[in-house]
Amino acid sequence: MQWTLVVPVKPLARAKSRLSDTADEGLRPGLALAFAQDTVAAALACPAVADVAVVTDDARAGRELAALGADIVRDEPGGGLNAALAHGAAVVRARRPECPVAALNADLPALRPAELARVLAAAARFPRAFLPDAAGIGTTMLAAAPGRELAPAFGTDSRARHRASGAVELSLGAVDSVRQDVDTGDDLRSALALGVGPRTAAVAGRLLIAGQ
């Protein structure tokens, strides 16, 4: 089974505000783009992934991610993260009605294709399934089988919200790279310890990160 991944990318100028203690306003857009580039590149290298649809209205992000091989879907609803994901999933399903679809965070710069393949293989056993983030509060991936609505509930306490929606929580070892999203300086240090992709490494090299 091969999946289509839907990856949301907000306007880079507004991305990663919680990294203000680690990266200044001039560096954060580039850092957010690097996260997305490394995430998309790793996803496209995963044998379980047929294609990646990036939902964004950011021209720079769209251009750079399309160059990696992603399909770009305009964020037509403009209604926030969950509306963007639902729209992206609908566009994907209109093209390939029988494809399994998974929403994947754009801030997984340490993502490993083999670990993503393990998560998708586990998700394929259920109508809907999700993977909690490293903090155990949020969600980094939500998957839906063919014919099932994605029904994203990302945001505050999304782990509990996805569980309450009936999605099965995946409990897997050795998939840290799929769980380590980056919202804070501590998250970035954890991702760097796992080993990030080349674009994130290049931008992070310009930061002074204690403990890096």
158 labeled part of a ligand binding site: yes
195 labeled part of a ligand binding site: no
Q: Say if residues 142 and 102 touch (Cβ distance below 8 Å).
A: yes
139 labeled part of a ligand binding site: yes
* Helix, strand, coil percentages, rounded to 5, for the chain: 40, 15, 45
Q: Report the alpha-carbon distance of residue 71 to residue 174 in Å, rounded.
A: 29
**Is the four-CA dihedral 119, 73, 128, 170 of positive or negative sign?**
positive
- Degrees, nearest 5: CA angle 157-163-167: 130
Residue numbers in the known binding site are: 139, 155, 158
Residue numbers in the known binding site for phosphoenolpyruvate are: 139, 155, 158
